[in-house]
Amino acid sequence: MNDLTIGFIGFGLIGGSIARAIKEAHPTFTLLSYHYSTGDMGKGLEDALKDHVLDFVYKDLQEGFSSCDIIFLCAPVLSNITYLEQLKDIIKPSCIITDVGSVKGCIHRAVEEIGLKSNFIGGHPMAGSEKTGYENSHSKLLENAYYILTPTDETPPATTEILYHLVGSMGAIPLVLDYKEHDNITAAISHLPHLIATSLVNLVKESDDSEENMRTLAAGGFKDITRIASSSPAMWQDICLTNTKSIQNFLDKYIASLKEIYYALEEKNEKYIYDLFDIAGEYRDSIPNKSSGILANVYETYIDIYDEAGSIATVATLLASNQISIKNIGIIHNREFQQGVLRIEFYEREALIKAVELLKKYRYTVYER
């Protein structure tokens, strides 16, 4: 690939992770970001310049973005759309504009209205987390995750090809989809689950007693299925406001299925209740655990540690001093590990393998699953 100049508008978890991955794969590319707020640059952009992930930050779109070969829109879905009009007058004719938004229909319609169809290709990395900001970004965040591209009839084939290769060089798996199909699929597998997790958390919050016993006892399964309720409200507000019809379609079906369960319980319908769990379990188990999906690969290990102050820090320091980056670390208690173990998650398989070797060398009991 020739050296490219790539611009970012919106530079948080996803923008930062894409920039890191591109800089790692293509150190000679020039990366720049727009600084949209009126105050100072903020820690994220400052750190990205210090890390040499970004080469330049511009307060004025016109100044930096007219030289861009590719522009990534990485702000919340509705904010991304507000930049199209401005960019139309700034970009060079060959510039490719792409976005990472979780909803595709709205931006495709705006691109058509504004007359940017031949410059635009939609994108959506199917990986991420409930965290936000550059400080949580990582070059391996998108590794082995599907990265959906939504070209239309008017997208030049060369544009799709360039993005396809660029996404592949980030370690992600490019997958071309029609944007309408994209919005239907993500409503079912991502947007509805976020609403279910969120409403469940709020239900428990509202049902709790004054001693907050529910909050104290909520663990295991409850925490497993509600992690995504901690996601960015600003980002999810835009998703709900833009993929509304598709979400409502699945919400309708989901409400109907909950009502069916309600009546099956009322009737003590043994077969219905058994099949409910049996059918769901079989389908859930058929979803590949260690392959790409809405959740990227999980590279995790579990170790026994003494439950005393400083023991997590000791493990974290040991790994960090051996250049092993941790994605997540924390003590978990569940049915499998009743006594509690330390769960450590890594960004990549190599880091997991290196960590297991190191922890065994230091005589930790490591559970490999």
Ligand X SMILES: NC(=O)C1=CN([C@@H]2O[C@H](COP(=O)(O)OP(=O)(O)OC[C@H]3O[C@@H](n4cnc5c(N)ncnc54)[C@H](O)[C@@H]3O)[C@@H](O)[C@H]2O)C=CC1
Binding site for ligand ENO (CB under 6 A): 102, 126, 128-130, 190, 228, 294-295
Residue number, 10 or 151, with CB nearest to ligand X = 10
- C-beta closer to ligand X: residue 241 or 312: 241
Report the distance separating Cα 73 and Cα 23, nearest Å.
17
Contact 167, 124 (CB under 8 A): no
Tell me how far, at minimum, the Cβ of 166 lies from ligand X, in Å: 16
Identify which of residues 74 and 303 has a Cβ nearer to ligand X in the complex. 74
Sign of the torsion angle spanned by Cα atoms 288, 292, 293, 297: positive
Binding site for ligand X (CB under 6 A): 9-15, 36, 44, 74-77, 79, 100-102, 124-125, 128-129, 132-133, 232, 235, 239
Q: Determine phi and psi for 142, rounding to 5 degrees.
A: -95, 5
Q: Among ligand ENO, ligand X, none, what does residue 171 contact (CB within 5–8 Å per kind)?
A: none
295 contact choice in ligand ENO, ligand X, none (CB below 5 to 8 Å, kind-dependent): ligand ENO
Burial class of residue 193 (count of CB atoms within 10 Å of its CB; 0-12, 13-18, 19+):
middle
Q: Considering CB distances under 5 to 8 angstroms, the limit depending on partner class, which of ligand X, ligand ENO, none binds residue 74?
A: ligand X
Alpha-carbon gap, residue 75 to 67, rounded angstroms:
20
The residue among 63 and 212 lying less far from ligand X, judged by its C-beta, is 63
DSSP per-residue letters across 107-140 = HHHHHHHHT-GGGEEEEEES---S--SGGG--TT
Q: Are 138 and 132 a contacting pair, CB within 8 Å? A: no
By a kind-dependent CB cut-off of 5 to 8 A, residue 11 interacts, out of ligand ENO, ligand X, none, with ligand X
Helical segments of 156-291, H only: 157-169, 179-186, 192-207, 213-217, 220-226, 233-242, 244-266, 270-285
The CB-of-335 to ligand ENO minimum distance in angstroms stands at: 22
CB of 222 to ligand X, least distance (A): 21
Looking at beta carbons only, is 29 or 34 nearer to ligand X? Answer: 34
| Least distance in angstroms from the C-beta of 129 to ligand ENO | 4
* Residue 133: contacted member of ligand X, ligand ENO, none (CB under 5 to 8 Å, by partner type): ligand X
10 binds, among ligand ENO, ligand X, none (CB under 5 to 8 A by kind): ligand X
Cα(243)–Cα(223) distance, integer angstroms: 26
CA distance 197 to 309: 32
Counting Cα atoms < 13 Å in the Cβ hemisphere of 102 gives 29
Minimum distance of ligand ENO from residue 126's CB (angstroms): 6
**Minimum distance between the CB of residue 295 and ligand ENO, rounded to whole angstroms?**
5
